Amino acid sequence: MGAVTANLRTFLMFAVLIGLFMAIGWLVGTFFIGDWVLGTLIFLVLAGLINFISYFYSSKIVLWTYKAKIVDEAQSPRLHRIVHGIISRNGLPMPKIAIVPSQNPNAFATGRNPKNAVVAATEGILRLLDDNELEGVLAHEMAHVRNRDILTMSVAATVAGAISFASRMAFYGSMFSGNDRNNGNFIVMLVAAITAPIAAMLLQLAISRSREYKADEEGARLIGKPLYLAKALEKLEAGSRQNPMKMGSPTSSSIFIVNPFNGGALVTLFSTHPPMAERVRRLKKLAKDMGQY
């Protein structure tokens, strides 16, 4: 059932991407090419190509974007030991382990399915958290793996980036097209440039917030210690503000356990992550229900 749900979410994202790209193609074709059919077809082909790449290569794109390096047990015994302890108690397949060269304290999981999963941790999180807190974080990521969120989240990051890129391309094309801005073309493309990235953020928001709550709870249940993750999340939020991510793009923020990028009011409004205070509150309530708090 989990695989069917994950595949349906992915299909819906692909459908949204195609729809948005066709709409942008129609705008470009109508106002700048003079042929709305040609513009729509060009962007439809682009959407199909991006969908193909997203499905088969989104995890590789994510790892490449953040310079994540796959490490074996000899290179990172601590990560391997903690992850192996989590999966040995829950019958999950052992994922590949990667380290991201960033002082931003964070972690994410990616891959097409549990058999091809990669769990990545930043250098910053390895320095900030003790073993118990790190176990809580890695259990959260393994919950994403078990729930097959990893493909959906990786594709969402790729799709959101593609939508933002397409809207910017259309906007810059309008600036240098040589057309008279008074005819409304510039205003139309400006609207497209603004609304398409917002649509991309809303797409990720719809996917990510509910999945994060569920992964928090299921990750805590995997190890039976909700307070491990609660303490880790509080540290990660503060640490991420002090050391924001200096590579990648906010369009991929949904894959991380906490948002690694600093942002203003608009970014906060469309945050892909639920409020940290509420995540911690739920975990403490779970610990109380389990007789641990």
State the Cα–Cα distance between residues 255 and 133, nearest whole angstrom: 19
State the Cα–Cα distance between residues 288 and 290, nearest whole angstrom: 5
Among 35, 57, 38, 56, CA closest to 46: 38
Catalytic residue among 141, 212, 234, 278: 141
H-helix segments, the chain? 2-28, 36-65, 77-88, 123-128, 131-146, 149-175, 185-223, 226-242, 265-269, 276-289
Contact indicator for 170, 24 with CB cutoff of 8 Å: yes
Q: Phi and psi dihedrals of 18, rounded to 5?
A: -60, -45
What SS3 state is found at 122?
A: strand
Contact indicator for 280, 98 with CB cutoff of 8 Å: no
What SS3 state is found at 104?
A: coil
Residue 141 appears among annotated catalytic residues: yes
State the Cα–Cα distance between residues 220 and 80, nearest whole angstrom: 19
Among 34, 257, 16, CA closest to 137: 257
A 10 A CB-CB count for 129 gives 23
State the Cα–Cα distance between residues 141 and 106, nearest whole angstrom: 11
* Encoded tokens for 140: 């959260």
Among 196, 151, 148, CA closest to 169: 196
Please give the positions annotated as active site: 141
